Amino acid sequence: QVQLVQSGAELKKPGASVKVSCEPFGYTFTAYYIHWVRQAPGQGLEWMGLINPNDGGTNYAQKFQGRVTITGDTSNNTAYMELTSLRSDDTAIYYCVREGTGAFDYWGQGTLVTVSS
Amino acid sequence: QAGLTQPPSVSKGLRQTATLTCTGNSNNVGKQGAAWLQQHQGHPPKLLSYRNNNRPSGISERLSASRSGNTASLTITGLQPEDEAEYYCSAWDRGLSAWVFGGGTKLTVL
């Protein structure tokens, strides 16, 4: 059974950084791209970027270029998303998502990141 | 980044049929088709269909997806209370080299 298990909720101050982890189970880590999608309170879905765990190749949304880094560690089959220079409008649920058959087929449970002074 | 366009809300009666739309352009929906996601309050989204009309296992046959030009559609027949949710479309945009989402449609089953 495919599952993506994410790290727990985070509370950060403006200007800080956050790093969220995502550990997939039930399939070969390097066989599928992993994406990061966020959802601000009461808002829609926003794509942040992706990683190909097989070779570490990444692609980021223009909006987040320079502030987001997505990495993958094949030694522990875990993907990470780090977002820097946090602002209050970065408060959101952050999801890791597997891309299978050209669509987002499995989602993590989400990690709430709250940015507040 | 430009996203896909969905109507904010649709309301239909129990056991009726709802059709949700998602409009993009020739770089995304018109070229690659769209996938549809359902999200209930407090839960992650769930994939309903991909590449226009393929359903993952376990997804009800009451759901069907299609595409005409730059507009994708999701039709849900025999509406049930559990169909009340937010629905999002998504597509790869080859011009932006990015994934884009619609703003979501809130489906209310009366």
CA separation for the pair A36, A31 (Å, rounded):
17
Residue B2: pLDDT over 80:
no
Contacts of B32 in chain A (CB under 8 A): 102
Residue B59: the pLDDT is 93
- Give the pLDDT confidence of B42-84 residue by residue, as tens digits: 999 999 999 868 999 899 999 999 999 999 999 999 999 999 9
Altogether, the residues listed in chain B come to a count of 110
Q: Whose structure tokens read 């189970």?
A: A25
- Residue-wise pLDDT for B21-30, tens only, equals 999 999 999 9
> Which 3 state secondary structure label does DSSP give B109?
strand
Number of other CB atoms surrounding residue A71 within 10 Å: 15
The residue whose two tokens read 């649709």 is: B10
pLDDT in tens, A52-90: 999 999 999 999 999 999 999 999 999 999 999 999 999
Q: Please list, in sequence order, all residues whose beta carbon lies within 8 angstroms of the beta carbon of residue B85, skipping any fewer than 6 positions away.
A: B38, B39, B40, B41, B106, B107
pLDDT, mean of residues B83-100: 96
A95 touches chain B (CB under 8 A): yes
Q: What is the pLDDT of residues A4-55, one digit of tens each?
A: 999 999 999 999 999 999 999 999 999 999 999 999 999 999 999 999 999 9
Location of structure tokens 């309050």: B41
Give the pLDDT confidence score for residue B32 in this predicted structure.
82
Determine the pLDDT at residue A99: 96
Q: Which residues of A touch B90 (CB under 8 A)?
A: 45, 47, 103-104
A101 pLDDT tier (thresholds 50, 70, 90): confident
Residue with tokens 């950060």: A12
**Rounded-to-5 percentages of helix, strand, coil across chain B:** 5, 50, 45
Q: Does B74 touch chain A (CB under 8 A)?
A: no
Q: What is the CA radius of gyration of chain B?
A: 13
Structure confidence at residue A102 (pLDDT): 86
pLDDT of residue A76: 94
Query: Which B residues in the span 26-55 are in contact with A, Cβ-Cβ below 8 Å?
Result: 32, 35, 37, 44-47, 50-51, 54
